[in-house]
Amino acid sequence: MTYRVCFVCTGNICRSPMAEIVFRARVAEAGLDGLVEVDSAGTGGWHEGDGADPRTVAVLAENGYATAHTARQFQPSWFSRLDLVVALDAGHLRALRRLAPTEQDAQKVRLLRSYDPAAGDDLDVPDPYYGGAEGFAECLEMVEAASAGLLAAVREDVEGRAA
């Protein structure tokens, strides 16, 4: 049974595709790519059909990640097929929990940086869209730091299902 994770930011061109691509790489490295499906979307549809922001593509490529992405908007009906919905900031967390059809679905939504023990109290991955390349590099660092903890949690859930 496939475990499904969807990362969500605002427009699905910066943070969430970055998280999707990084986490997909971690899943593959862990040998879980046949068991875990990784996806991303935005809370809004402004960029639907567009590729990832060129600065996202550049920072990912500079760090050895392959990039292929088409932006889309998160739909409430997706909750029924998803196991985990990972919000990139508190605004996305609130928006997704409001969209959730049931309380059980709302509990599937978590903040990405909550999986990084070094994150402290600030669990938002800041939106780099209106800044320069350094903001995208900072986001990548945050995404990579949280991915190890997220992978451990997902692995535990996947192994729990198999038991």
SS3 39: strand
Q: Reply yes or no on whether 9 is catalytic.
A: yes
The amino acid present at 88, given as its one-letter code, is L
Which of 33, 50, 83, 127 is catalytic? The answer is 127
Which residue of the set 9, 24, 110, 124 is catalytic? 9
- Please count the CA atoms within 13 angstroms of the CA of 137 that sit on its side-chain side: 5
Active site includes 139? no
- Confirm whether 127 is a catalytic residue: yes
Cβ–Cβ < 8 Å for 34, 156? no
Which of these is catalytic: 6, 14, 15, 39?
15
Per the CB < 8 A criterion, the answer to whether 47 and 11 are in contact is: yes
Q: Can you read off the two tokens belonging to residue 79?
A: 């909750």
Provide the strand spans (E) within 22-92.
36-42, 84-87
Q: Could you say which DSSP state residue 113 is in?
A: G
Q: Which residues are catalytic?
A: 9, 15, 127
